Amino acid sequence: MVICRFRSLLSLSKTNPFFLSSPSSSFSIRTFSSSQLPQHLQNVGFVGLGNMGSRMAINLVKAGYKLTVYDINSDVLKKFSQMGVSTKKTPYEVSEASDVIITMLPSSAHVIDVYTGPNGLLHGGKLLRPWLLIDSSTIDPQTSRELSATISNYTLKEKKGDQETPAKLEAPVSGSVIAAEAGTLTFMVGGSEEAFVAAKSILFSMGKSAIYCGGPGSGSAAKICNNLAMAVSMLGVSEALALGQSLGVSASTLTKIFNRSSARCWSSDAYNPVPGVMEGVPSSRDYNGGFASKLMVKDLNLAVESAKHAECKYPLTSQAQKIYSELCSGGHEARDFSCAFRHYYSGMDENQDHH
Give, as one character, the DSSP assignment of residue 40.
Answer: G
Residue 330 domain-assigned (yes or no): yes
Residue 201 domain-assigned (yes or no): yes
Q: Give the residue numbers spanning the domain of 110.
A: 43-216
pLDDT recorded at residue 15: 33
Domain count across the chain: 2
pLDDT recorded at residue 346: 64
Shared-domain flag, residues 138 and 231: no
Shared-domain flag, residues 230 and 189: no
pLDDT tens, the chain, 355 aa long: 444 444 444 443 333 322 233 333 322 333 345 555 556 778 999 999 999 999 999 999 999 999 999 999 999 999 999 999 999 999 999 999 999 999 999 999 999 999 999 999 999 889 999 999 999 999 999 999 999 999 999 999 988 778 899 999 999 999 888 899 999 999 999 999 999 999 999 999 999 999 999 999 999 999 999 999 999 999 999 999 999 999 999 999 999 999 999 999 999 999 999 999 999 999 999 999 889 999 999 999 999 999 999 999 999 999 999 999 999 999 999 999 999 998 877 666 666 544 4
Active-site residue flag, 62? no
Angle at 227 between CA 222 and CA 233, to 5 degrees: 125
Shared-domain flag, residues 243 and 96: no
Question: Closest Cα to residue 21, out of 4, 1, 37, 40?
Answer: 37
Domain CATH for 300: 1.10.1040.10
Shared-domain flag, residues 176 and 261: no
Residue 338 domain-assigned (yes or no): yes
* Element spanning 95, H or E: helix 91-96
Domain CATH for 59: 3.40.50.720
Integer Cα distance of 214 and 354 in angstroms: 49
Residue 202 domain-assigned (yes or no): yes
Q: Which of 186, 216, 246 is the last residue of a domain?
A: 216
Q: Quick check: helix, strand or coil at residue 29?
A: helix
pLDDT recorded at residue 8: 41
Give strand pairing partners of 343.
Answer: none
Residue 6 domain-assigned (yes or no): no
Q: Which of 216, 241, 256 is the last residue of a domain?
A: 216
Question: Closest Cα to residue 339, out of 298, 261, 281?
Answer: 281
Q: Which of 151, 185, 216 is the last residue of a domain?
A: 216
* Element spanning 199, H or E: helix 193-203
Residue 206 domain-assigned (yes or no): yes
Radius of gyration of the chain (CA): 22
Widest CA span in the chain: 72
Q: Quick check: helix, strand or coil at residue 250?
A: coil
Shared-domain flag, residues 107 and 212: yes
Integer Cα distance of 3 and 195 in angstroms: 9
Write down the catalytic residue from 223, 294, 298, 322.
223
Shared-domain flag, residues 125 and 253: no
Shared-domain flag, residues 290 and 154: no
Integer Cα distance of 287 and 274 in angstroms: 10
Q: Could you give phi then psi for residue 112, rounded to 5 degrees?
A: -60, -40
CB-based burial of residue 39 (10 Å sphere; 0-12 exposed, 13-18 middle, 19+ buried)? exposed
Shared-domain flag, residues 118 and 253: no
Shared-domain flag, residues 297 and 341: yes
This prediction has a pTM of: 0.85
Q: Classify 11 in phi/psi space as left (phi over 0), alpha (psi -120 to 50) or beta.
A: alpha
Residue 27 domain-assigned (yes or no): no
Shared-domain flag, residues 236 and 320: yes
Question: Closest Cα to residue 340, out of 294, 279, 298, 299?
Answer: 294
Q: Checking DSSP bridges between strand 173-174 and strand 185-191, what pairing results, if any?
A: antiparallel
Shared-domain flag, residues 227 and 212: no
pLDDT recorded at residue 6: 45
* Element spanning 173, H or E: strand 173-174
Whether 298 and 306 have beta carbons less than 8 Å apart is answered as: no
Residue 16 domain-assigned (yes or no): no
Shared-domain flag, residues 60 and 114: yes
Question: What's the CA dihedral at 250, 256, 260, 265 to 10 degrees?
Answer: 90
